[in-house]
């Protein structure tokens, strides 16, 4: 039986075209980009070409893009670097940010930085009215850290409006675009200043283990990882050449096919919602802004069931369907989602996150509905 993968917010399948682009740098062109011989120069050229391509995709300059091991490292570097070098005394974020942001802010709070949790609405969207109030009365330098799309709910924040507010009050703005890079147009030139932005390859059918941190020109922060001084002294360690090349290829493909894939995935999500409502009725509810400004590839749904969420997921897995109870980065802990708790989702409801890719089909949704009818 062909398995069904509905966990694309956790990670995505590596595209064949991406693998093809990577293979030469895993086999023949294996030079170290820091070496001055021919193999090293070829590797360096590949890294810099990839940097230019990804920078162009987000409207940035190549010099503003720094490669990392992924989104978590990028977010850690931005938050801790802003405190260390920019005089940030207050960090404003929400309690439903990704764990790497939440925990980084917590570490900075332990070091004496003031941390403020911005209110969210019933969909998990940041309260920009309160943000304006907080920024207006804040003393000293402020960093606002808000994700573009919540990884569990799909709810979108208006990062252009947030950037404008931060500019108005002289605050720094960091946004995590791990879930939206390659799915929505992002152009840092067309917005008020975004000072830090993170991205990751494996959420858009690229390889795992590579991401980037965008740092606006003129901002300088210290390295989180020290050593050989790679990435212009910001991130030491030999660059993941094959991963970086694959990242750039994945971004190129995602941008070229964005409209087509969005239409396909959006139609699948709409069909799934309709089928769930038809078959489960009042036993069903949804989380996040599922009827409004929400990521088209993510759906968070609650069921009334006597089975705990982990057992629902286990039974779905046995039926050949991969789904999630929330963030894959913490799902192994088998504990309730702090994101859903923050929204007030009752503990007695069983919550699943279903997330899609361009490879999914209507027939797979029909199989999923049939399995859920037997399980829930």
Which one-letter DSSP state was computed for residue 157? P
- Nearest residue to 150 (alpha-carbon basis) of 267, 293, 332: 293
User: Is 329 one of the annotated active-site residues of the chain?
Assistant: yes
Catalytic annotation, pick one of 100, 166, 329, 368:
329
238: which 2 tokens? 């030999």
Q: What is the 3-state secondary structure (H, E, C) of 276-296?
A: HHHHHHHHEEEECCCCCCECC
Query: Encoding tokens for residue 45?
Result: 């050229």
Please name the residue ranges forming H helices in the chain: 16-22, 38-57, 71-86, 99-110, 128-137, 159-169, 241-256, 258-280, 309-318, 338-342, 362-375
Place of tokens 């890719």: 357
Nearest-angstrom CA–CA distance, 342 and 337: 9
Q: What is the CA radius of gyration of the chain?
A: 21
Positions marked catalytic = 329
């Amino acid at each position: 039986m062909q398995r069904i993968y509905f966990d694309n917010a956790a990670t995505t399948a590596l595209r064949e075209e991406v693998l093809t682009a990577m293979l030469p740098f895993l086999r023949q062109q294996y030079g170290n980009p820091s070496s001055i011989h021919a193999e090293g120069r070829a590797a360096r050229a590949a890294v810099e070409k990839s940097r230019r391509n990804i920078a162009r995709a987000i409207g940035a300059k190549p010099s503003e893009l720094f490669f990392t091991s992924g989104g978590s490292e990028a977010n850690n570097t931005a938050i801790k670097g802003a405190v260390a070098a920019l005089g940030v005394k207050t960090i404003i974020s929400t309690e439903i940010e990704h764990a790497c942001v939440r925990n980084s802010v917590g570490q900075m709070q332990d070091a004496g930085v003031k941390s403020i949790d911005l209110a969210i609405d019933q969909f998990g969207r940041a309260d920009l009215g309160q943000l304006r109030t907080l920024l207006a009365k804040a003393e000293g330098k402020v960093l606002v850290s808000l994700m573009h799309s919540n990884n569990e709910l799909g709810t979108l924040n208006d990062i252009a409006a947030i950037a404008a507010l931060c500019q108005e009050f002289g605050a720094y703005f960091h946004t995590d675009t791990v879930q939206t890079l390659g799915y929505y147009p992002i152009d840092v030139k067309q917005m008020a200043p975004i000072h830090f932005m993170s991205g990751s390859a494996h959420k858009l059918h690229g390889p795992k283990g590579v991401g980037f941190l965008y740092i606006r020109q003129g901002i300088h922060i210290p390295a989180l990882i020290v050593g050989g001084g790679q990435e212009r002294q910001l991130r030491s360690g030999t660059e993941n050449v094959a991963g970086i090349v694959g990242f750039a290829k994945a971004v190129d493909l995602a941008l070229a096919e964005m409209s087509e894939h969005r239409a396909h995935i959006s139609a699948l999500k709409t069909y799934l919602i309709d089928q769930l409502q038809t078959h489960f009725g009042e036993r069903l509810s949804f989380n996040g802004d599922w009827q409004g400004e929400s990521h088209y590839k993510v759906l968070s749904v609650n069921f009334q069931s006597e089975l705990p969420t982990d057992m629902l997921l286990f039974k779905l897995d046995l039926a050949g369907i991969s789904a999630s109870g929330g963030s894959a980065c913490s799902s192994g802990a088998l504990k309730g989602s702090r994101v859903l708790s923050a929204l007030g989702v009752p503990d007695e409801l069983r919550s699943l996150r279903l997330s899609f890719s361009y490879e999914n089909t209507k027939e797979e949704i029909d199989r999923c509905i049939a399995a859920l009818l037997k399980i829930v």
